[in-house]
Structure 1
């Protein structure tokens, strides 16, 4: 059971790591044009709402990850039942 959990976590990590690296590369790009008005992230940070945005994103991604883990467990259980017949 522990081996299956480790395998599942390694698969989830392998799927999420490229996405995180890609997002980091995209977010690291400097804006091409400087404006007099603050960007949305600066405005959200100044008002303290950026933490709410980050929290919502983390909750959504955590929910998706938990859903995928549960779905993988159900599919694995169904595969074992089919093999047992």
Structure 2
């Protein structure tokens, strides 16, 4: 429940960033060429990889903590 609340809070905190105009020339050029989707896909792949690694690491740590608690 805390994770969901924290995530929603962070999403709400970024809403004011969307109020600014999008006058970035590089983004406009990438958008007009259709290459912006390649950039977005690359960013999503990197983020999914990082999240997968963090969840796998968390799972291993929980397993080690459980083994440590069982020995004591």
Q: TM-score scaled to structure 1, two decimals? A: 0.64
Alignment of 1:4-15 (within 5 A): 11=3
| More RCO (CA 8 Å, sep 6+) | 1
Richer in helix (by share) = 2
- Write out per-residue CA displacement over residues 3-43 of structure 1, whole angstroms, 9 at most, x where no aligned residue: xxxx8xx84x55654444444432x1324xx7xxx622111
The gaps in structure 1 that reach 5 residues or longer are 1-6
1:73 to 48, 55, 59: 59
Runs of 4+ in 1 over 3 A off after TM superposition: 13-25
When the two chains are superposed, the root-mean-square deviation of aligned CA atoms in Å is 2.7
Once residues 46 and 12 of structure 2 are traced to their aligned partners in structure 1, the CA distance between those partners, rounded to angstroms, is: 19
